[in-house]
Amino acid sequence: MTTFSQTNFPTPFGLYDNESQFQSEADNVVTFVKRKLGDDILSVELTRKQIYANFEESVLEYSSILNQYQAKSQLVNFLGMPTGSIMSGSEEKYPRENLEYLSRFAEPYAMEAGIGGSYNFTSGSISLEKGRQDYDVYTELKDSSGNALFDNTKGKLRICEVYHYNPQAAYRFFDTTSAINYLNNEFSFESFTPETIFYVLPVFEDILRAGQLDVSNRVRRSNYSYKAHGTEIRIYPTPVVDNKKLWIKVKQFADPLDPAYQDSSIYGVSNMSNLPFGNIPYSNINSIVRQWIRQFCLGLSMEQLGYIRGKFGSIPVPGDSVTLNHSELISNGRSDQEKLREQLTTMLDTMTYDKLIEIQSKRAEELNKQLKYVPLAHAIKYA
């Protein structure tokens, strides 16, 4: 009898042909499939190579389904990472989790807050003219060399900040006779006094207070303001001198594929299709999965046998003819495959990393409930 290792090019893709465990299992699967399909009673019209092909497809089907669920659990940690090769072995590793995805996701908010981000702001100036309030930002905003700052290939300008005031942040100290001091104490806005009572305040409160005073001075005391409308900016009050520089910080369209720094992660993993997941080696598959693969191979072979017998319809015998059960084989083969897929996906749904955390959390809660019924040692001693 010809064995797997003696057959030239036994499987269509040859992905597992060099694995000894796959070779020995393939020969056993041929016997298993033929006997399940009644080969001892009626010859099964399937060649060894056809069953080998179905066996390889079964392993690939399992590998594909499992990798999909691994992608569901691990995609966040792989985004932006090098795509690697298809045989990188990443599919069998448990990655250490990080917050890279969240940090990158938060970059736009950091940019809006002025504390980071992936894109640079641009500053330019407009030369103010005596008696003139309205200026076109798109045409009159210049860089330090006097060149136009607006780049019409990047869309509209967005004004982020106008340096049209005297920036200041001050800490105020009031004595005990100040009405403001009484209000500060009444509303828990404590301040230093010349008395012997001191308040030890956290640093963040000093920072917040400085910010409040800074905004108060800008809004309540500053006579300088501006209003942006369309492409123009209107300056208040009306300038009274010529050639005074009004500095403006602006930004234009941020191309998500062209940040201000060189970012190789843009060319890394972006979705499930380029995760560096290869096929799982057959030698690393345990007995639980191997039984699923055998059953799936049987379903594929049953469907294939139905197609073959459907070409003939019936076989003539002396005085009569035998009708072949091709439609039943096709239907049962497809049904068995669908049930096996559903069984596997249902099981894997309970094993994603998020689901495992949920199970562990529930187990801890149930354990705490049980421990409540354990009598305490001192309670037993003094009962």
Boundaries of every domain in the chain: 4-95+276-315+322-371, 108-251
Per-residue tokens: 80: 């932006």
Question: Could you give the angle at which helices 20-36 and 287-310 cross, rounded to 10 degrees?
Answer: 50
Residues 6+ apart with CB under 8 A from 266: 80, 257, 259
Of 292, 285, 281, which Cα lies nearest the Cα of 337? 292
Query: CA–CA distance from 354 to each of 252, 348, 364 (Å)?
Result: 39, 12, 16
What is the spatial distance between Cα 330 and Cα 307, in angstroms, rounded to a whole number? 7
Question: Could you give the angle at which helices 48-78 and 20-36 cross, rounded to 10 degrees?
Answer: 120
* Strand segments (E) across 98-207: 122-128, 134-136, 158-163
Q: How many CB atoms lie within 10 A of CB 172?
A: 13
H or E element: which one contains 227?
strand 225-229
By DSSP bridging, strand 320-323 and strand 314-317 are antiparallel
Name the stretches of the chain with pLDDT < 70.
1, 85-88, 165-201, 217-223, 313-324, 376-383
pLDDT at 175: 46
State the DSSP code for 195: S
Long-range contacts, stretch 187-191, CB < 8 angstroms, 24+ apart: none
- The answer to whether the beta carbons of residues 25 and 11 sit under 8 Å apart is no
The alpha helices in 162-230, defined as continuous H runs, are: 179-186, 203-216
| Residue with token string 């037993």 | 380
Residue type, 351: M
Q: How many CB atoms lie within 10 A of CB 366?
A: 10
Residues 6+ apart with CB under 8 A from 310: 324, 326, 327, 330
pLDDT at 127: 92
SS3 content of the chain, % helix, strand, coil (to 5): 50, 10, 40
pLDDT at 133: 93
What is the spatial distance between Cα 55 and Cα 47, in angstroms, rounded to a whole number? 13
Burial class (CB in 10 A: 0-12, 13-18, 19+), 350: exposed
pLDDT at 319: 58
pLDDT at 183: 60
pLDDT at 174: 44
Tell me whether the omega of the peptide bond preceding residue 237 falls within 30 degrees of 0, making it cis: yes
Of 331, 245, 304, which Cα lies nearest the Cα of 46? 304
pLDDT at 209: 80
pLDDT at 169: 45
* Strand segments (E) across 253-337: 314-317, 320-323
Long-range contacts, stretch 323-330, CB < 8 angstroms, 24+ apart: 329/302, 329/303, 329/305, 330/302, 330/303, 330/306
Of 199, 212, 223, 203, which Cα lies nearest the Cα of 172? 212
Looking from the CA of 185 toward its CB, the CA atoms found within 13 Å total 15
State the DSSP code for 280: P
Tell me the pLDDT of the chain averaged across its residues: 83
